[in-house]
Structure 1
Amino acid sequence: MNRKVTLIMRSKDSAWVIGQALSGLFSQARKDFELLVVDSGSRDATLDIVSRFPCRLIRIEARAYFPGVVLNRAIREAKGEVIVFQNSDVVPLTPEALDRLLAPIERGEADATFARQLPRPEAHTWVRRDYEVSFPERGEAPPWMTYSLPFAAMTREAWLKHPFYEDAWGSEDTEWGHWARNHGLRVRYVPGALVMHSHNYTLKQLYGRRFIEGEADAFILRDRASVMGLARRVGASWARDAVAHLLARDAAGLALSVPRRFVYHWAYLKGHLWGEQRLRSGNADPSTGQQVVLRRQ
């Protein structure tokens, strides 16, 4: 039996893509959903585009945007028994994407699901390689991909068992999936639910994203990071990148792969060490990670 569905979309300065995202959503075979848009201070035409579609709008200031806090607030205001998440830069690729995402939940086979993400046509070679590994065409997602919110769903009951964490800025989906896996909830990867989503981050933007992922992992995994681990990760990921770039005959991408992977893992190490320090000192303020990201957008 179909249950009432609320779709939550977070946006900020998404005018370049949110029209495609919303058009794709409202072109779905599934029509019976409520749309709740949470905008954190857009200064472009995002809100003008959003106003063309039926939705409820929540507006917050940019400085008030902390992912876990915002998601928990939106879910509390949602009317649905099943919550769907779609980022404002995610474009459904087939009219059945939403139905396929929801099917395991509605059949009683899953408490939460997440979709297969395909990179955009302009995605860099290293981004394509990462997405191929993270979101396979068949079978299960890799063990470290516990959950991915760009296009995902969960029951309200599952969320009530464990709301999104608010300890760090970012990786709220990874933390939720990690908790769910360790507490017997059924999280299903649905490769048939196809969406388009990727980012060609600059080195500056990449540093911000990886810093918050490192900080979050310190809270999620309660492990320790080291410079030796950094060296191993840089070497292994560069080797994988080199193969991908050589196969793609992408000489420019290959030339950038060493500095890119160094920044990728160095930022993660710095964030993780900061998270470890926060845990040791009992620092409950997640705003440092937020500022690292905002300064590098």
Structure 2
Amino acid sequence: MSITTSILIRTKNEAQDISKTLKLVTSQSLKPNDIVVVDSGSTDETVNIVKQWSDVKLIQIQPEEFTFGRSLNIGFKSTEAEIVIALSAHAFPCDRYWLQNLVKHFDDLEVAGVYGKQVSQPDAWPSVQRDLTFYGDQLRIQTNPDNPSEHFFSNANSAIRRQCWEKHCFDETLTGGEDREWAWMMLRLGYKIVYEPEAAVYHSHNEPLLKVYQRAYREALAFELIYGEKMSLHQALGKWRRSVLADIRFILQNGKSYEWILRAPIYRLFWIYGRLKPSLAAPIWEPFVKR
């Protein structure tokens, strides 16, 4: 298959990981035609590190300009490649065939986008590891716009057909979920979304609990805009309970430290509170969270 590819990496304070990521993407069996880094105001050495790579195009935007969708759209506009690969700056391809496996489905002109597997880092917390088991080892073809489970897509590790992005670019107003919104639109236009487990990256976050909450909150705000999704306190408590029980089963089945039986409920409490917060009246939640 003869097709032009561009790797698009969004960064902010990624000095610890960006060199490793760039080394891995440039050592692929299929060489990308170009690499674009969109940085949104790094205050560490990220920008200086990227500048050492003469063949990497660096675009800098101000932090206040950033949204997930806007940084992606800026990156897309800077390249003419037929297939643009969105990759997290701290997502490390598992092997040198990652890019080849990610783009091989584009021979089918009905494929708008492909997303790959995400594997947890060895030190990932059990709750984080369990969340990533969602990806699995089976190829999936998503075609049904009426099934929300088939809207899933992740721009931490994805490939997107330029012509499809030109028909519908990423929503720059969303606080997250721009990938799901785009995939849903592609399905509505009659395209396919493919999950390719052989295009795997190591990508996981051991975050402070406040960041767990903030990430969940951003996603919940986005899902409310995309789907009109609301969550009741009863639904939240049920989801928290099911998630904690699933975490405990995972901990026991995989020989994880028993301390996580106590830590998982706290982790999931911050996660579910972030998911619930947009659905609550301000007087209920304002006293507990500082802006």
- What TM-score comes out, normalization by structure 1 length? 0.87
CA separation of 1:272/1:168 partners in 2, compared to 1, >3 Å: closer, same or farther?
farther
Higher alpha-carbon deviation: 1-10 or 96-105: 1-10
Q: Which residue of the partner structure matches residue 257 of structure 1?
A: 264
- SS of residue in 2 equivalent to 1:89: coil
Q: Deviations over 1:218-268 (max 9, x none)?
A: 011123221111111011111101111222242221111112111111111
Q: Which residue of the partner structure matches residue 29 of structure 1?
A: 29
CA separation of 1:273/1:157 partners in 2, compared to 1, >3 Å: closer, same or farther?
farther
Distance in 2 (alpha carbons) for counterparts of 1:249 and 1:84:
34
Q: Is residue 99–residue 199 contact of structure 2 (8 Å, CA) maintained in 1?
A: yes
CA shift for structure 1 position 192: 0.7
Q: Is residue 88–residue 157 contact of structure 2 (8 Å, CA) maintained in 1?
A: yes
Q: Is residue 215–residue 273 contact of structure 1 (8 Å, CA) maintained in 2?
A: no
Q: Deviations over 1:108-153 (max 9, x none)?
A: 46221011111111111111111112x1022338936610111111
CA separation of 1:107/1:36 partners in 2, compared to 1, >3 Å: closer, same or farther?
same
CA separation of 1:190/1:124 partners in 2, compared to 1, >3 Å: closer, same or farther?
same
Q: Which residue of the partner structure matches residue 205 of structure 2?
A: 199
Residue type at the aligned position of 2:98:
A
Query: Which of residues 272, 275, 278 is equivalent to 1:268?
Result: 275
Residue type at the aligned position of 1:167:
T
2:70 matches 1:63: no
CA shift for structure 1 position 172: 1.0
Q: Which residue of the partner structure matches residue 244 of structure 1?
A: 250
Q: Deviations over 1:186-217 (max 9, x none)?
A: 11001011211110121111011000000000
CA shift for structure 1 position 37: 0.7
Q: Is residue 7–residue 32 contact of structure 2 (8 Å, CA) maintained in 1?
A: no
- What TM-score comes out, normalization by structure 2 length? 0.89
Structure 2 residue runs of 5 or longer lacking an equivalent are: 143-148, 282-288
Residue type at the aligned position of 1:265:
I
Q: Aligned-pair RMSD on alpha carbons?
A: 1.9
Q: Deviations over 1:32-80 (max 9, x none)?
A: 4211110111121212221232111111112221111121122122221
Q: Which residue of the partner structure matches residue 288 of structure 1?
A: none
Distance in 2 (alpha carbons) for counterparts of 1:46 and 1:128:
27
Count of residues in correspondence between the two structures = 275
Residue type at the aligned position of 2:236:
L
- SS of residue in 2 equivalent to 1:111: strand
Distance in 1 (alpha carbons) for counterparts of 2:190 and 2:93:
29
- SS of residue in 1 equivalent to 2:6: strand
CA shift for structure 1 position 7: 1.5
Q: Which residue of the partner structure matches residue 3 of structure 1?
A: 3
Distance in 1 (alpha carbons) for counterparts of 2:77 and 2:41:
21
2:107 matches 1:106: yes
Q: Which residue of the partner structure matches residue 213 of structure 1?
A: 219
Q: Is residue 114–residue 147 contact of structure 1 (8 Å, CA) maintained in 2?
A: yes
Distance in 2 (alpha carbons) for counterparts of 1:272 and 1:27:
46
Q: Identity percentage over the alignment?
A: 27
Query: Which of residues 175, 185, 191 is equivalent to 1:185?
Result: 191
Q: Is residue 9–residue 85 contact of structure 1 (8 Å, CA) maintained in 2?
A: yes
Q: Is residue 157–residue 201 contact of structure 2 (8 Å, CA) maintained in 1?
A: yes
Residue type at the aligned position of 1:267:
G
Structure 1 residue runs of 5 or longer lacking an equivalent are: 275-291
Residue type at the aligned position of 2:117:
R
